[in-house]
Amino acid sequence: MPESIPADSVGLVKPSTIHIDTPLQLDCGKTLPSYDLVYETYGSLNENGSNAVLICHALSGDHHAAGFHTMEDRKPGWWDTAIGPGKAIDTNHFYVVCLNNLGGCKGSTGPNTINPETGELYGPDFPIVTVPDWVRSQAMLAARLGIQQWAAVIGGSLGGMQALQWSISLPERVRHAIVIAAAPKLSAQNIAFNEVARTAIKSDPDFHDGYYIKHNTLPRQGLGLARMLGHITYLSDEAMGEKFGRELRNGAIQYGYDVEFQIESYLRYQSTSFVERFDANTYLLMTKALDYFDPAQAFNDDLVATVANIQAKSLIISFTSDWRFSPERSKEIVNAMLAAGKSVCYAEIEAHQGHDAFLMPIPRYLEIFGTYMQQIAAEGVK
């Protein structure tokens, strides 16, 4: 917890909730008659709303991207390294909006909220949502906030996919798209990782087909295993070796099946802390949204045709040690944009942290990111 608020922090922030009564037709064929979205904002919206930036979160993220909710918070929002006065996303210039996506578990309508038709929690009955569904709901939020066009839509990983989808689905409403550590669709290996994680959750005896709340329990073991698997894929071998190596927890081998290596202890800690703050049904939903993301499918699998109507200028960033969304996947997007005659910049950052590098305060990464954002700010109000 901070003894005082750092000068480059957005400070103490409070989330807001917006209720939207306009029905949302989902890709799965179902309709949400109404829904709530929880969001946070940082900075001030200018008179004509042209300095607004949308931050899209990754799989286990939420609306709390920067600052602190209380002085007792153990740490700030998940992207505090990038958002704040003088930071890459400078709140002296931009009005930053970050929301908890539909299907999330941090206040927006999702599995752990009440289904108005039954008066009970949605649970596993909450419909499958997709990245295009999220974009449509985010557009409704933007309209309610008086934002007709985003100066930039920004995200890493699954958030980067949302930024790309925004520029494809609503090209006139995005001036810049910043896509970080993402891909135009998942590889078979990535889908396989997600399926193993879902199987771990669904195989937990406490899962009860997703109705675990009715049984007054949680699938802690299954969700914990899913988190451990996911966390391994977010780090590189080098990062793990540098941080833990083969260091023993108690200094000597015990010749047993309990925790012996520090990496085992770390993964168990990540598992235990995650299951107390995240919902298992939401985890299933988010991984499915990842699996289904494939905007080129609607264009006969032609990625060049997919990006042909994009109006936004784009910045694509990848990291050398990211083996889950490798630089080659980012280059697929870049090459398609170049072939379609679009304005695109690309940066491949030398980094050993793996996929999680997009969350890290890596100087070269933040320098490039910040310089691009400064150029957006220099465009002035439209």
What digits encode the pLDDT tens for the residues 27-83? 999 999 999 999 999 999 999 999 999 999 999 999 999 999 999 998 999 999 999
Tell whether the model's pLDDT for residue 254 goes beyond 80: no
Residue 260's pLDDT is what?
A: 64
Report in angstroms the alpha-carbon separations of 95 from 55, 223, 256: 11, 35, 54
**Mean pLDDT on 275-284:** 95
- % of the chain with per-residue pLDDT over 90: 86
pLDDT digits (tens, 9 = 90+) for 178-188: 999 999 999 99
Residue-level pLDDT at 265: 78
pLDDT of 382 over the 60 cut = no
Give the percent of the chain with pLDDT over 70. Answer: 97
| Active site annotation includes 157 | yes
Residue 98 has pLDDT above 90, yes or no: yes
| pLDDT tier, 258 (very low <50, low <70, confident <90, very high otherwise) | confident
Residue recorded with tokens 């958030």: 159
**In this predicted structure, what is the pLDDT of residue 1?**
60
Please tell me the pTM assigned to this model.
0.95
3-state secondary structure of 263: helix
Q: Is 236 a catalytic residue?
A: no
Q: Beta strand pairing status for 52-56 and 35-42?
A: unpaired
- Residue 102 above 90 pLDDT? yes
177's tokens: 């798209």
64: helix, strand or coil: coil
Query: What confidence tens digit (pLDDT) does each residue in 289-333 have?
Result: 999 999 999 999 999 999 999 999 999 999 999 999 999 999 999
Measured distance CA(305)–CA(107) in Å, rounded: 37
The torsion angles phi and psi of 222, rounded to 5 degrees, stand at: -65, -45
In 3D space, the residue among 285, 336, 67 whose CA is nearest the CA of residue 158 turns out to be 285
120-134, 227-241, 322-336: least confidently modelled range: 227-241
Q: What is the pLDDT of residue 249?
A: 67
Read off φ and ψ for residue 13, nearest 5 degrees: -130, 160
Q: What one-character DSSP code corresponds to residue 172?
A: G
Mean pLDDT of 238-250: 75
In the residue annotation, 90 being an active-site residue is answered as no
Give the chain's mean pLDDT: 94
Q: Is the pLDDT of residue 240 over 60?
A: yes
Mean pLDDT on 196-221:
97
Query: Alpha helices of the chain — where are they, by DSSP H?
Result: 131-144, 158-169, 188-203, 220-234, 237-243, 262-275, 280-292, 303-306, 327-339, 363-378
Catalytic choice (157, 167, 236, 314) = 157
Instruction: Please tell me which residue in 314, 322, 330, 356 is annotated as part of the active site.
Output: 322
Q: What mean pLDDT is predicted for residues 276-297?
A: 97
